[in-house]
Amino acid sequence: MLIEANALTKRFGGLNALDAIDIAVGDRELLGVIGPNGAGKTTLFDVLTGVVKPTSGRVTYAGEDITGIQAHRMPHLGIFRTFQRASVFRELTTTENLIIGRHVKIDTNLFDDLFLSAKCRKQEEEAREKANQVLNFIGIQHLASQFAGTLSYGNQKLLSLGVALMGEPKVLLLDEPAAGMNPTEINKLMTLVKELKKSLMTIIVVEHDMKFIMDLCERIVVLNFGSIIAQGTPQEVSHNEDVIRVYLGNKATKRC
């Protein structure tokens, strides 16, 4: 297994946002995580990516203990994420946002910068090339020089995905990537995620859009009140009685 969480617990005051959960994600797997609002899905991502420290439990990556490692070190391990809300620099252009996403790959120092060393120029060139590739991949080349704040929300979400791709992830965690997108954009996103999977990436995706989850994921983990209530193939999970109960209970909010 590439990523394993053992007895992972995160407590906020008296609330167990994650309650001793065990999750194992295989290399190149596309794992879906679903559950009602407040189930602990984002907290799981926060703990896996070092945004918050777990109260207890362990996370290993390729056999190495990475529990509590700080978020800024994750890109060096090849672990990248996107957030529930589009997170772009609105005053910068699409391309500039992408180039900033490349900073994790840039290892020049101030001396290199000051004298515009060959290494620095090469890395800048690489960043521009990669930004073009990513722009083509996510299909927003025509928006390259627009300010990110002027993009539609769906395109801002796509750009957030693009920024994560600039670091060339081995593992990508997507927190509700389709939220705020229209049906056309969701279809496009599904195609992109399929392509990413083919490119041998390991992906964990939290999503409320059931078509997205059911069509794309080989395995689904269902969280409720910080615990895993079911896991299995889309078929298995959709017939699980506990899952059906949780979903019917949340029907009023249209969130599943």
Q: Tokens in use for 191?
A: 């195609």
- Which among Mg ion, ligand ADP, none contacts residue 37 (Cβ within 5 to 8 A by kind)? ligand ADP
Span from 38-46, 126-134, 149-157, 189-197 in contact with ligand ADP (CB under 6 A)? 38-46
Nearest to 30 by CA among 219, 233, 156: 219
Span from 36-44, 53-61, 210-218, 242-250 in contact with ligand ADP (CB under 6 A)? 36-44
Going through the chain in order, the beta strands assigned E by DSSP cover 3-12, 15-25, 30-34, 56-61, 64-65, 79-82, 171-175, 202-206, 219-224, 227-232
- Considering only 12, 70, 194, 195, the residue that binds ligand ADP (CB under 6 A) is 12
For residues 184-243, which are near ligand ADP according to CB under 6 A?
none
Length reported for the chain: 256
Q: Tokens in use for 128?
A: 């521009």
Q: Where are the alpha helices (DSSP H) in 9-117?
A: 41-48, 74-77, 94-101, 110-114
- Considering only 23, 32, 33, 42, the residue that binds Mg ion (CB under 5 A) is 42
- Which amino acid makes up residue 43? T
- Considering only 3, 25, 30, 40, the residue that binds ligand ADP (CB under 6 A) is 40
- Which among ligand ADP, Mg ion, none contacts residue 40 (Cβ within 5 to 8 A by kind)? ligand ADP
Enumerate helices (H) and strands (E) in the chain, giving the number of each.
10, 10
Could you give the maximum distance between any two Cα atoms of the chain, in Å?
Answer: 65
For residues 120-139, which are near ligand ADP according to CB under 6 A?
none
CA distance 172 to 184: 23
- Which among Mg ion, ligand ADP, none contacts residue 244 (Cβ within 5 to 8 A by kind)? none
Span from 14-22, 33-41, 187-195, 243-251 in contact with Mg ion (CB under 5 A)? 33-41
Span from 41-49, 75-83, 128-136, 180-188 in contact with ligand ADP (CB under 6 A)? 41-49
- Considering only 5, 23, 35, 98, the residue that binds ligand ADP (CB under 6 A) is 35
Q: Which residues bind ligand ADP (CB under 6 A)?
A: 12, 15, 17, 35, 37-43
